[in-house]
Amino acid sequence: MPDHNLSPDALPSRGATVAPAGNSPEIARPRRRRWHLALAVAAVAGVCGAVLLRHEIAPAFDRQAPATAAAPPASAEPPPALTVSVSAAVQRPMERVVVGDGSVVAWQELVIGAEAGGLRVVEVAVEEGDRVRQGQLLVRLESSVLAAQRDAAEAAVGEAEAALRVAQQDLVRSVELSRTQSAPRQTLEQREAAARQAEARLAAARARRDEAAARLAHTRILAPTDGVVSRRAVLLGAVTAVGQEMARLIRDNRVELDARVPELEFAAVRAGQRVRVVHGDRRIEAEVRAVAPTVSADTRLGIVHVALPPESGLRPGMFARAEILPGAAPALTVPQEAILFREGRPAAFVLSEGDRVALRPLATGRRREGAVEVTGGLSPGERVVVAGAGFLSDGDRVRVAGAPDPAAGDRQATTR
């Protein structure tokens, strides 16, 4: 049964033409079908064309591929890793330095003590740091008792001298009488003995006088030499004992550095060698005065006495370092820039006969004026990399600055 209510007479015939009536959906639907069909046909045609093109062009590429593969690749060696400068290890005189440290001490520190005991201090004439001259008064003790004893001894000397004169006069008379035999021989002998006794008593009196004068002199404590008072150990009013310390004196105001030097370098030090004493930012030129004859068995250090100049400004008790200069000695050296530290050890890149470098560990020593002493790992004449060493690795190829490039010569020959 038909799905519409139109009668057969109302339907258009196959050959009849139907006039368009606006945009009726019944008329637009056939048009869309025709557009869709046209697009599908075009897509199928494009796919077919692509397939045909692939079949026609691919064989041509396949025929050309063997010719391209047959051409050998240009195997050019990579250029050097870095342009560097090198320097040869050479023997050169290098100043040797023996380093020691220690304390500044007085050349001679004199301890001035009291020779008289039981006397009161009545004057202290100096203070610590004062410069004194030989014979200058340092301390004065009470002297009234000793002065009285000296006066008594002086009077005894006068009495003994008078007794001696009397004895000598008696002896002279006895001698004259014995010539005329007016006096017995026994009297002459007695007068001679009395004269000798008077001489002895006079000598004893003079000795007691000299003793009293010496004891009196002990009340004036004087500087035994020129110097500087480093310590005053007595106060006014103190009662002294025999041997009690009164003051300390740095003789001639001379100080020195007792530098401790390791035993392996101790043998190279001699008296008279130059020394550079370092104290903070100061550098003081000095000289070795003496070298101790022994080395401590506990520390394995020896003492070197370094005489400091008067204008050094160093005081006893200060700590300083001594750089002793025994003199120049030949050493194998390389520039300081060539030394690297790899794995905590000094090393350098050594240039072989070709253009490759090898990292070689070294044993180094002194460093002076931009040069480093090499004590092991390098032979004289071997070349080490100086500039650019920090960018290299073991086995790298390098080009030496200023040397002709062999690769450039080969390129020019190939061009010609």
Find the CATH number of the domain harbouring 385.
2.40.420.20
User: Looking at the domain assignment, is residue 47 inside a domain?
Assistant: no
User: Looking at the domain assignment, is residue 299 inside a domain?
Assistant: yes
User: Looking at the domain assignment, is residue 193 inside a domain?
Assistant: yes
Q: 58: pLDDT confidence band, cut at 50, 70 and 90? A: very low
In which domain, by residue range, is 406 found? 82-92+331-415
- Which residues, in sequence order, are bridge partners of residue 351? 357, 383
User: Looking at the domain assignment, is residue 19 inside a domain?
Assistant: no
315 with 348, same domain: the answer is no
User: Looking at the domain assignment, is residue 209 inside a domain?
Assistant: yes
354 with 297, same domain: the answer is no
For residue 304, the domain's CATH number is 2.40.30.170
**pLDDT (mean) for 260-284:** 93
Closest CA to 269 of 330, 326, 327: 326
**pLDDT (mean) for 143-171:** 92
**pLDDT (mean) for 117-143:** 95
User: Looking at the domain assignment, is residue 24 inside a domain?
Assistant: no
Q: List, for residues 322-375, the tens digit of each pLDDT value.
A: 999 887 778 899 998 999 998 888 999 998 877 888 898 999 988 888 889 898
175 with 293, same domain: the answer is no
Extended beta strands in 134-219, E state: 137-141
C-alpha distances in Å from residue 381, one per residue of 88, 91, 352, 363, 367: 5, 9, 12, 17, 19
336 with 401, same domain: the answer is yes
* Domain end marker among 218, 234, 267: 218
Please report, rounded to a whole number, the percentage of residues in the chain having pLDDT higher than 90. Answer: 50
67: region left, alpha or beta (phi > 0 left; psi from -120 to 50 alpha):
alpha
Compute the distance between CA of residue 323 and CA of residue 279 in angstroms, rounded to an integer.
Answer: 11
Those residues whose C-beta lies under 8 Å from the C-beta of residue 377, and which sit 6 or more positions away, are: 360, 361, 362, 363
Compute the distance between CA of residue 351 and CA of residue 398 in angstroms, rounded to an integer.
Answer: 9
325 with 335, same domain: the answer is no
